[in-house]
Structure 1
Amino acid sequence: MQKQDKKSEKTAAPISEEKRQKKMQVRKKLKYGGIATAVTVIFVAVVVLLNVVVAQVCKRNPDAVLDLTTANLYEISDDTVDYIKNLDQDVEIAISSEESTFQSDKYYKMISETISKYQGYSDHISVTYFDTTKDPDILSKYQDLYAGDISSNQIIVTSGDRIKVYSLTDMFEIDQDKYQSYYYGYASLSDCITGFKGEQTLTTAIMNVTDSNPKSVAVITKSNGNYIFSATQANAYAVTAMENLLNDNGYDVKELDMVNDTLDAETYDIVVLPAPANDLTMDAIKKLQDFLQNDGNLGKQLIYVADYTQSVTPNLDAFLKDWNLQVDSSYVREDDNNRNQTVQIVASAGKGLIAPIVSLGDSENYGGNLANSSLPIVAPLARPIQKLPSNNGRVVYNLLQSSDTSYAYPLTQQASSGEDTTESASEESQEATEAATTETAATTSFDTDSAVRGANTVMALSQSQQSTGSDLIESDVIVLGSMAMMDYYLTQDSSYNNAEYFIGVLNSVCGKEDSIVIASKDMAATSISATQTQLVTLRTIVVFLIPLAVAAAGIVVFLRRRNR
């Protein structure tokens, strides 16, 4: 019996030891597995926490976010940053869409990222996303302030009882020719987008809704239903560009018909008269005179834009003469090639047009507050403006003028014959008119060599001032010598000062706070640039080295665990 017990003990001992080893192995696996799991959980938690912290830091400190696009699509300018940081009024930016939906589209995401930066720079800016169907109370709040209809995917900017509402297309530069194809279903919207102007639109909106002295502009585009200016593509684009420029800089713009609408001095502060192709009637002249006189209170401005496409205008000329101004029937050319610039404008049909570079005139009070005065101001096809002597108390300032080596070249009979071009011109007549811009006076016998050289004014200001006790009131007439000075391409191109100078002068004259002229960002270049060698190196690292490193690490871990 004892022998049998001893045998049992001998056979039981190895089994017990084997079980013990297995248990030890299980414990090791659990130990290392638990540690690995704990490390993984901790690592994931740290990554998530770090992500949240970085997101919050970037939200409150937009400068911490890197913009790697070549066009800096997500950056905002120093001018905007300075303005936003100094805001002293609360501004609400509302997007009529759920945030997740709004950020699912790449174009909407560009807008939302830009808006987020605005919020990061100022505690006075709040951002709200809402669904027009799920949040009717929020929609009603904004709809009560807005005369139009607010729909989904719109950007709403409010402060107090002032409101501006924008659609997607308001945030981007749109190719108008391609947009026609999109309108008829032959192209996508992305095909039409050429530039991003989200910063320009948002900054302008904030300036507009917080402006304590808003200005309203009436642009006279029609007379008795017909376009008042020569219906060329160049003129139509220039008028649109001027309206957009005014809108983008905080002016409330509305188009009027000279005959059918009322030019009310109580409603409007500024009137724009864009190059009437034919002379104005005496009734129209009286409307302008009454507007500027404002029942003796003055305080109004008229912007008159002359152009080579106009016919003879004796009534309008007499009105200008009363303001000590005269627009000659010629256009300015420049002898000195160093004072010329080849520009792309709508009228040049992509061929380029030589335009004089002009400089500031004799008034330091109207320098336009240019951020970069080294950028040129050009005056394509600009008619010279003469200052007439008079004792009527009105003072004329030469704002922009050409150099002493420039001269005035007479316009053709085509441009001064008085033929009616206010009706919709045919495509052939438009091409013929715009082709004339490259050689406007080909049919004359003018001797260029004998032409008188000297400075020619291409933008002037006439002031009528009155003293009312301790106050000084005034009305003003600003004259530009060319519609092409406000050409669509020139006002959109940040390498010219045409737009900034125009807005700067208008702000000074009408007493409006300085605006910020912001160039659009080109959508054609939005990726990170890299050489072919850099691309090959990056491909090698991503496709081969990183996977090999991960595989090697996996093999090492596997072998170490197997040998334990």
Structure 2
Amino acid sequence: MDHEKKNGVQPEEETPAAMNEAVTEEPAAASAPEQGEEAPVLTEEIVEETAVEEQAAPVEPIQKKKPKKPKKDSRKGKFRGISFAFTAGLIVLIVLLNVVVSILGERYPSMNLDLTTGKVNTLSESAAQVASNVQTPTTITIMAGEDIARSDTNYQQVSILADKMAERNSNITVAYLELDKNPAFASQYQDENITTGSVLVETEKRHRVLNYGDLFSTQYSMDGSMVTYSKVDSALASAVSSVNADTLPLAVFDGSHSEAVDLAVYRTLLEGNNFETQDFQLLTEEIPENAQLLVLGTPTTDCTPDEIEKLEAFLNDETRGTDRSLLVTFHPNQAALPNLTAFLKEWGLDVQQATEVVESDANSYIPSGPGNILVNIGSDVVLNSNAQGYNLVVMPQSSPINLLFDERNGITTHSLATSNSTSYLFDGTQESFDNPQMGSYNVAAMAQKQVGQNTANVVAIGSTFMFDDGILNVNTYGNGSFVTDLSRYVTGVTGSEAVSMENAQVRTAELDISMSLLNVTLLGLGVFTILLPLCVAVIGLVIYIRRRRL
């Protein structure tokens, strides 16, 4: 250093970077001596310099270790568990929903949709009205096991309609009883012929038994196949109504004049509308004291003077505390009945025998022939104030009836049914056909007389075939309603007991399902086309979004 000063040369000042470089180079040279050289000995000066350098060197900050990310497998497992729980919960919810709907369906049968073609599982308006009017505890007992009855093709309708009647009124109870397990039960009703499948409708007033023939009828179609028709609705309604009625009017059917037709269908109709019926012989027996309707079904032999006296006494007896009536049916080919004809003329009714009312207008008779005329129901007598009218009342092969007077000796006459103005009278001669006398003719009429506090009625029906099974029990025609209301009117039945129940038949086991356009739209478009696919799409979208976040 002294030598450099002497030569006039100033030593360069060492910068900190140069110092650091020098310091770092020396240990490197010391740590890696060349081959053949001796390793330098660490002196105290070198040790001290090294310590100073370590103290002067900047301290690097300690880096914290980043937490490890959780493995994706654990998150997937978590969401798999949630997905499984959601699916299991959805299944449980569906099962519970089915159980609740089943319970509600049993408790409230009307919740179940009736999609049958003939609406065989729906109470008719008259049956619903009968059920609503029940005020006495009533039991409907079906003679079969409940499971068997509800699974049988026909008898399930009995169970369904009985349940719906019970739903409308808490006074009605439905029960099931297996006769083979309760053999002593049938012995209590020995005169009723109770068998498996019978239905017992009972109150404290009376009981009524419906057997298979009362509930169903079997007919053969044009191709020879057997077809079953149901009468369950009307049968149950009539049975419930009859066992709840305070009194049942008695209709008696005479069988002593070789009646030309069997009025069994009319008799069944009366029984289904709270009438009691009974056979008797006018020629040899007295008219029952409690009889209110006496029926002569197209007699082919004339009444004797003694029988005419019985009829007059029956109609004019003031000691009878009820309305009473005589009903006589006729046919154009019927033999002359001078005594009966004279008796009816005293009441203002003149039936023209050997003459038939025929229609010239094809729109005024049914396709089976111009003698099967469609008639108009008279308006001067209101048979049932609750009736909505009688559509398509047909009276085949009808005799015309003249009204001899409007009022005489306390007797008034009324037209019950008339033909259209396009009809004419045919007496079998060519003249009556070539020169028809067009006009409207009476084909059913009634005469009335006040007897004490009650009314006596004489009814003449020109068409005995209007009571035919194929007409009276067919919903297409209004004959059933008209005849029922007429029978009730002439016996004085009014009020809630005057609910008409036709012996209507509906074909069972129809292949088609009947649905309204609204139901089709709601179920087809609303539920199956929109609602269900939308629910599936929403669930799928939720699952997709959740899985995307895994």
- State whether TM-score is above 0.5: yes
Pairing of 1:268-307 with structure 2 (within 5 A): 268-294=291-317, 296-297=319-320, 299-307=323-331
Of the structure 1 ranges 286-295 and 298-307, higher mean CA displacement relative to structure 2 is found in 286-295
2:481 is matched with 500
1:516 is matched with 500
Do 2:412 and 2:447's aligned partners in 1 also have CA atoms closer than 8 Å?
Answer: yes
Please point out which of 351, 361, 369 is paired with 1:327: 351
SS, match of residue 431 in structure 2: coil
TM-score normalised to the size of structure 1? 0.69
Once the two structures are TM-superposed, the CA of residue 512 in structure 1 deviates from its matched residue by: 1.4
Once the two structures are TM-superposed, the CA of residue 148 in structure 1 deviates from its matched residue by: 2.5
SS, match of residue 432 in structure 2: coil
Once the two structures are TM-superposed, the CA of residue 386 in structure 1 deviates from its matched residue by: 1.4
Q: Which has the higher contact order (CA 8 A, sep 6+)?
A: 1
Change (3 A) 1:397 1:295: same
**Matching residue's letter, 2:269:** L
1:415 is matched with none
Pairing of 1:156-167 with structure 2 (within 5 A): 156-167=200-211
Within 2, Cα distance between the matches of 1:149 and 1:485? Answer: 32
SS, match of residue 80 in structure 1: helix
What residue ranges of structure 2 are gaps of 5+ in the alignment?
1-72, 525-550
Of the structure 1 ranges 398-407 and 322-331, higher mean CA displacement relative to structure 2 is found in 398-407
Superimposed CA distance per residue, residues 318-347 of structure 1 (whole angstroms, 9 cap, x where no aligned partner): 221222211101111233444x1225xxxx
Do 1:356 and 1:380's aligned partners in 2 also have CA atoms closer than 8 Å?
Answer: yes
Please point out which of 401, 406, 410 is paired with 1:385: 401
Within 1, Cα distance between the matches of 2:151 and 2:487? Answer: 41
Within 1, Cα distance between the matches of 2:81 and 2:216? Answer: 54
**Matching residue's letter, 1:355:** N
1:172 is matched with 216
**Matching residue's letter, 1:320:** L
Superimposed CA distance per residue, residues 472-508 of structure 1 (whole angstroms, 9 cap, x where no aligned partner): 2121111110112222111122222111112112222
1:446 is matched with 431
SS, match of residue 484 in structure 1: helix
SS, match of residue 106 in structure 1: coil
Superimposed CA distance per residue, residues 382-437 of structure 1 (whole angstroms, 9 cap, x where no aligned partner): 11111223733211111111233433222xxxxxxxxxxxxxxxxxxxxxxxxxxx
Please point out which of 256, 270, 275 is paired with 1:251: 275
1:431 is matched with none
Within 2, Cα distance between the matches of 1:195 and 1:45? Answer: 42
Once the two structures are TM-superposed, the CA of residue 445 in structure 1 deviates from its matched residue by: 3.9
Do 1:368 and 1:505's aligned partners in 2 also have CA atoms closer than 8 Å?
Answer: no
Superimposed CA distance per residue, residues 69-120 of structure 1 (whole angstroms, 9 cap, x where no aligned partner): 2222211223322442343222210112221232342111222122122222
**Matching residue's letter, 2:402:** Q
2:462 is matched with 481
Within 1, Cα distance between the matches of 2:277 and 2:106? Answer: 35
Once the two structures are TM-superposed, the CA of residue 127 in structure 1 deviates from its matched residue by: 0.5
SS, match of residue 366 in structure 1: coil
**Matching residue's letter, 1:218:** V
Change (3 A) 1:100 1:334: same
Superimposed CA distance per residue, residues 143-186 of structure 1 (whole angstroms, 9 cap, x where no aligned partner): 36x743322221011122211101122112332x79xxxxxxxx
Please point out which of 106, 109, 125 is paired with 1:62: 109
What residue ranges of structure 1 are gaps of 5+ in the alignment?
1-23, 179-186, 344-350, 411-440, 539-564
Within 2, Cα distance between the matches of 1:192 and 1:305? Answer: 33
Are 1:151 and 2:185 matched, yes or no? no
Of the structure 1 ranges 48-57 and 159-168, higher mean CA displacement relative to structure 2 is found in 48-57
- How many corresponding residue pairs? 443
SS, match of residue 120 in structure 1: helix
2:239 is matched with 205
Within 2, Cα distance between the matches of 1:264 and 1:493? Answer: 33
1:360 is matched with 377
Amino-acid identity (%): 26
**Greater C-alpha radius of gyration:** 2
Change (3 A) 1:529 1:405: closer
Within 2, Cα distance between the matches of 1:55 and 1:261? Answer: 59
Within 2, Cα distance between the matches of 1:492 and 1:258? Answer: 29
TM-score normalised to the size of structure 2? 0.71
